[in-house]
Amino acid sequence: MDPGKIDALEECIARAIQEHLAAGTLDWPQLAGLDHPVLRVEAFLEDAGHSAGSTQTKKVASRSVDLAGLMTPTSLQSRSPVALAEHESVSTRQRVLATDNVLEEAPVGLDDAVVQDQDSPGGSRRKGTGGLRISQSQAYQEDMSEHQRRMALDNRTFPKRRKIVSEKLVFQPSTLDKLIIGIWEQIHGTLNLDPRAISEQFQIAPAVETDAAEGRIESNGDQLVITTSMTSNTFSNMNVFCRKVTQASRVSRSIEIIVQARWTEFFDEQVQLRIAETPQVSPTKHRKAVFMEACQDFGWSEKELRNKMAIWKGYKEVKDAAGWVALVFTGMGIYRFCKYRVEFEPDAMRRLQNLRKRLEVGADTLHPNWRKILSIVGVSCRNEYKGHPHDWVVFEDGRDPVSLQSTYLEQDAYFNFEQIEESIIDERVWGCEDPRWIMQPQNAVVRAEGGYICAVCSFQQSDDPRVNACNCFPRLFGCLKRTPPPVQIYRTHNGKNNGLQALVPFERGAAIGEFVGLVTKGVRHLDVMDGSTATANYQIWQGRQGNFTRFINHSCKANSQLSHFTWLDTQRIVLVSKGIEAGTEITVDYGDRYWAGLDKICLCGESCCRYRRR
């Protein structure tokens, strides 16, 4: 089919539907019995082609027509007061959408069908005029309560990927900051601490002769020689092998550090034991004797061991403050941190202490086997935190995390929240259709071959990483397996209940996650995200299902933004960073409509706050 012709036809069909319905008010008495009749009109265009089996069907129009707005005064008269009240509120609501001009195409039918007659006394007489355009009239007093709690998207372009010079980040991140960020990155990384995987890794790592299907790794004297040809099969084997070796070396780094920290404890215990046995000898002498014994066993010089011990002592101090979890998941930063000891002051240690439980939440939920590695140093402990990392609410002051559910039970005894990765379509509302579907002209040709072109970068999109070339949001679409991002739900200290905190920095333009929930419609007086395409208006409700984006608070000077992005012809709402520092609260601007008439005041604390007063 010629895409140009289809577009023209689509236009005609849509106009024909509109004109037909706009031709006059509906005088169907049967409508009177319904509270809020909505007619859904869908049009499909089929090109049967010349040969059998080449039929192509294409949806060209999808409209929801609010029949309430097209009813004549006669049919309205016979309706109940409740229905009339509903009718009033619907008309007001739709006007709000129209005047805000948020929807490119609001549900048709009502806005121009019911207009205020300015000439009549009191201005309240209604007249049916038909017509399906979005009203520009502002004559109605808006009923703010009708559209409050509805978040709007920021339709400006995505934040550009450049690093902003932060007001606070005048200095480079301190070594402690680097250490902490390194730990969070490991926790949210691919470290595999499953004992079976570890033993497999350790079998392959020291195995000098490993026969990958076509590649071969052999020992040549004291060198490793890798003979392999770069065919895709061999490359794939090499990828697996390289990943295993890298994993093994990361795991062995974790083991090395926990063993060295534990050895330091053994050393001190040994000194204490000797002092207890022969108290007449001075502690310094005992210490020296134990030290010399160790030098001999290690085969190292005094200087060598002394230097190493200084660093290992640092490991132990980090462990005493932040727990074993900090050592198991530590990045390379710990060596520098312990070697130079520039930040080993009480404040830093307190900061690490306050992180301990939070790190454990991340490690227990993302790496349920991590504690097993501690058996190497004779420590046994069970996981404390089960489920999803975002099933827990953490505290900045180091208090024990609490279950997410427990933080809402007071307001809602039946509160529960299912963590989901992809939005769920509310079938009662949409049947088996996804209202987020977008017909992108540039995909008219490639779609027939199963392809999709990104409207932003013009490269091909695919869930298969080998085919995908769109790199707009690689963390979310097309490239990597999605894992929970390094963020935690935490208890805010300024009355906003829970909020979302960034554990690592998110550079400007980076996607943090997708706003997912139940894709529905018609939710009122609850927090929802309004979304719209050219053919449908929908809402995403996160009341019972969703992800961490459900817990983002508003700020009048937000550090992230919710924007549209079309992935595989389906509109997605993506949380994009505007430049976020590690340890700060992630915020978005809910927009005016959310706060309009809402019985709450904004606690963002910014000098530019727009909703400080009711």
Ligand X SMILES: C[S@@+](CC[C@H](N)C(=O)[O-])C[C@H]1O[C@@H](n2cnc3c(N)ncnc32)[C@H](O)[C@@H]1O
Minimum distance of ligand X from residue 489's CB (angstroms): 8
Residues 441-480 that bind ligand X (CB under 6 A): none
What is the Cα–Cα distance from 213 to 223, expressed in whole angstroms?
Answer: 21
Residue 172's CB is within 10 A of a number of other CB atoms, namely: 8
Nearer to ligand X, 271 or 602 (CB): 602
Place of tokens 């070796």: 245
Binding mask 493-512 for ligand X (x = CB under 6 A): ---xxxx-------------
Of the candidate residues 178, 554, 564, 593, the single one contacting ligand X (CB under 6 A): 554
The angle formed by the CA atoms of residues 558, 560 and 566, to the nearest 5 degrees, is 140
Minimum distance of ligand X from residue 392's CB (angstroms): 14
Stretch near ligand X under the rule CB under 6 A, chosen from 100-108, 207-215, 233-241, 551-559: 551-559
Minimum distance of ligand X from residue 145's CB (angstroms): 14
Nearer to ligand X, 496 or 572 (CB): 496
Minimum distance of ligand X from residue 552's CB (angstroms): 6
Q: Which residues of 340-373 are buried (b: 16+ CB within 10 A; e: fewer)?
A: eeeebeeebbebbebbbbbbbbbbbbbbebbbbb
Nearer to ligand X, 234 or 545 (CB): 545
Minimum distance of ligand X from residue 553's CB (angstroms): 3
Nearer to ligand X, 527 or 530 (CB): 527
Minimum distance of ligand X from residue 603's CB (angstroms): 4
Minimum distance of ligand X from residue 393's CB (angstroms): 9
Residue 270's CB is within 10 A of a number of other CB atoms, namely: 17
Under rule CB under 6 A, residue 66 binds ligand X? no
Nearer to ligand X, 353 or 492 (CB): 492
On the 0-12 / 13-18 / 19+ scale of CB atoms within 10 A, 256 is middle
What is the Cα–Cα distance from 564 to 571, expressed in whole angstroms?
Answer: 7
Stretch near ligand X under the rule CB under 6 A, chosen from 169-177, 215-223, 321-329, 601-609: 601-609
Residue 250's CB is within 10 A of a number of other CB atoms, namely: 19
Under rule CB under 6 A, residue 551 binds ligand X? yes
Minimum distance of ligand X from residue 70's CB (angstroms): 35
On the 0-12 / 13-18 / 19+ scale of CB atoms within 10 A, 599 is exposed
Q: What is the DSSP letter of 205?
A: T
Instruction: Look at residue 393 and give its three-state secondary structure.
Output: strand
Nearer to ligand X, 95 or 578 (CB): 578
- Compute the half-sphere exposure of residue 611: CA atoms within 13 Å on the CB side of its CA: 20
Binding mask 571-600 for ligand X (x = CB under 6 A): -----------------------------x
Nearer to ligand X, 220 or 411 (CB): 411
Instruction: Look at residue 62 and give its three-state secondary structure.
Output: strand
Nearer to ligand X, 324 or 548 (CB): 548
Stretch near ligand X under the rule CB under 6 A, chosen from 7-15, 177-185, 268-276, 548-556: 548-556
Place of tokens 């969703």: 546
Judge whether 519 and 426 are in contact, CB under 8 Å: yes
Q: How far is CA 332 from the centre of its chain?
A: 27
How much helix, strand and coil, in percent to the nearest 5, is found in the chain? 40, 20, 45
What is the Cα–Cα distance from 328 to 319, expressed in whole angstroms?
Answer: 10
Minimum distance of ligand X from residue 598's CB (angstroms): 7
Nearer to ligand X, 106 or 151 (CB): 151
Nearer to ligand X, 288 or 600 (CB): 600
Nearer to ligand X, 91 or 555 (CB): 555
Closest CA to 565 of 484, 472, 494: 472
Minimum distance of ligand X from residue 499's CB (angstroms): 6
Q: Name the token pair of 252.
A: 């062995």
Minimum distance of ligand X from residue 150's CB (angstroms): 11
Residues 164-183 that bind ligand X (CB under 6 A): none
> How many binding residues for ligand X (CB under 6 A)?
13
Under rule CB under 6 A, residue 553 binds ligand X? yes
Minimum distance of ligand X from residue 151's CB (angstroms): 8
> Nearest 5°: phi and psi at 594?
-65, -45
Q: Can you spell out the DSSP letters for 419-444?
A: E-SS-EE-HHHHTT--TTB---GGGT
Binding mask 384-413 for ligand X (x = CB under 6 A): ------------------------------
Place of tokens 């509805």: 150
Q: Name the token pair of 559.
A: 């550090």
Q: Give the bridge partners for 47, in sequence order.
A: 56
Instruction: Look at residue 127 and give its three-state secondary structure.
Output: strand
Minimum distance of ligand X from residue 389's CB (angstroms): 17
Minimum distance of ligand X from residue 68's CB (angstroms): 29
Q: Can you spell out the DSSP letters for 240-296?
A: HHHHHHHHHHHHHHHHHHHHHHHHHHHHHHHHHHHHHH-TTS-HHHHHHHHHHHHHH
Give the nearest residue (CB) to ligand X.
Answer: 497
Binding mask 525-544 for ligand X (x = CB under 6 A): --x-----------------
Nearer to ligand X, 408 or 437 (CB): 408
Minimum distance of ligand X from residue 604's CB (angstroms): 4
Stretch near ligand X under the rule CB under 6 A, chosen from 7-15, 102-110, 432-440, 546-554: 546-554
> Nearest 5°: phi and psi at 580?
-125, 135
Closest CA to 99 of 146, 39, 37: 146
Nearer to ligand X, 53 or 495 (CB): 495
- Compute the half-sphere exposure of residue 426: CA atoms within 13 Å on the CB side of its CA: 17
Residues 210-269 that bind ligand X (CB under 6 A): none
Nearer to ligand X, 69 or 499 (CB): 499
Nearer to ligand X, 66 or 391 (CB): 391
Residue 70 to residues 55, 522, 549, Cα–Cα distance (Å): 37, 19, 38
Segment holding 313, helix H or strand E: helix 302-322
Binding site for ligand X (CB under 6 A): 496-499, 527, 551, 553-555, 600, 602-604
